[in-house]
């Protein structure tokens, strides 16, 4: 794991129960994060927080207390806020996995990222949400989507840890993916070739053509693969003409 965990700042706002602060500290540490900011916690420091933090007392000890969200996120270039469902406010919303991938990619810019979690009983107000660039929603049971704050933190931190290992595993990609125009050219070239060698029935081409499109779109070829395939198709066409 090369996760730059110091760049990721977990911000808890107006937390009522100090036990939740301890549980959040433990949730963070189990996923490799350590930087905790507390905006107006009702009680802190607290024995309840320590009791629930497990072996993450270092996260509590290094936590910083702020008087406002603005102050807590002052140094952050990117700000995410976790949001409950069905808000009247319209805002771009990412799910936890998408947000985690986005956050992990941003750590490479070496700039600070804050993720804000609201008060236990009401989440974040619209004014508070507006401080964020992006909203995160955790997929949940629509009939009861009410996760405890430490549970929400656990899931977000877990997705960030997964993103860090998934994206490391993708480092085999030595060429960038083709853009949509290049992809379309490859698909057209493939279909032309298939017609040339009579494997597409010109009377009823529709179904197979949509399958070919779906197949190449799913593949998401990189530039080297697309270039090889174009060469392959050109060689076939040259020999046929």
Q: Quick check: 221 and 186 in contact, CB under 8 A?
A: yes
211 binds its own copies (CB under 8 A): yes
CB neighbours of residue 147 within 10 Å: 16
Q: Quick one: which of 88, 90, 110, 141 contacts its own copies (CB under 8 A)?
A: 141
User: Among residues 10, 50, 5, which one has the least CA distance to residue 156?
Assistant: 10
Helices H, strands E: what count in the chain? 10, 7
Residues 84-113: x where in contact with its own copies by CB under 8 A, - otherwise, as a string:
-------------x----------------
> Among 162, 189, 205, 223, which residue interacts with its own copies (rule: CB under 8 A)?
162
| Closer residue to its own copies in complex, CB, 69/161 | 161
Q: Does 202 bind its own copies (CB under 8 A)?
A: no
122 binds its own copies (CB under 8 A): no
Using CB atoms within 10 Å of the CB of residue 143, give its burial: 0 to 12 exposed, 13 to 18 middle, 19+ buried.
Answer: exposed
Q: Is 232 in the site for its own copies (CB under 8 A)?
A: yes
Q: Which is nearer to its own copies, 42 or 145 (CB)?
A: 145
Q: Which of 111, 126, 201, 228 binds its own copies (CB under 8 A)?
A: 228
Out of 31, 63, 115, 129, the only residue in the binding site for its own copies (CB under 8 A) is 31
199 is an interface residue for its own copies by CB under 8 A:
yes
Q: How far is the CB of 71 from its own copies (least distance, A)?
A: 29
* Interface with its own copies, residue 26, by CB under 8 A: yes
Sheet of 35-39, strands arranged across: 64-66, 35-39, 8-13, 113-117, 78-82, 134-137, 93-95
For 130, what's the count of Cα atoms within 13 Å in the CB-facing half-sphere?
Answer: 5
Choose the binding region for its own copies from 20-28, 43-51, 102-110, 122-130 (rule: CB under 8 A): 20-28
Angle (nearest 5°) at CA 62 between 102 and 83: 35
Could you report how far apart the first and last alpha carbons of the chain are, in Å? Answer: 53
**Count of residues binding its own copies (CB under 8 A)?**
53
From 6-14, 37-45, 104-112, 155-163, span contacting its own copies (CB under 8 A)? 155-163
């Amino acid at each position: 794991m090369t996760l730059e965990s110091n760049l990721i700042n977990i911000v808890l706002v107006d937390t009522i129960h100090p036990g939740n602060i301890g549980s959040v500290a433990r949730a963070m540490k189990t996923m490799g994060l350590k930087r905790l900011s507390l905006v107006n916690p009702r009680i802190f420091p607290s024995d309840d927080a320590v009791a629930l933090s497990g072996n993450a007392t270092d996260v509590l000890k290094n936590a910083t207390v702020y008087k406002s969200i603005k102050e807590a996120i002052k140094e952050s270039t990117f700000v995410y806020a976790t949001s409950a469902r069905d808000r009247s406010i319209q805002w771009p919303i990412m799910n936890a996995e998408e947000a985690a991938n986005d956050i992990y990619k941003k750590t490479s810019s070496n700039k600070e990222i804050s993720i804000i979690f609201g008060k236990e009983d009401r989440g974040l107000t619209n004014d508070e949400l507006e401080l964020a660039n992006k909203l995160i929603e955790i997929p949940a049971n629509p009939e009861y989507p009410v996760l405890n704050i430490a549970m929400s933190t656990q899931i977000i931190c877990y997705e960030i840890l997964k993103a860090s290992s998934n994206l490391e595993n993708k480092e085999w990609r030595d060429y960038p993916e083709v853009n949509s125009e290049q992809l379309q050219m490859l698909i057209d070239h493939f279909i032309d070739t298939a017609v040339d060698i009579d494997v597409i029935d010109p009377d009823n081409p529709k179904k197979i053509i949509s399958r070919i499109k779906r197949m190449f779109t799913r593949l998401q070829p990189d530039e080297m693969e697309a270039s090889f395939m174009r060469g392959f198709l050109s060689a076939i066409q040259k020999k046929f003409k």
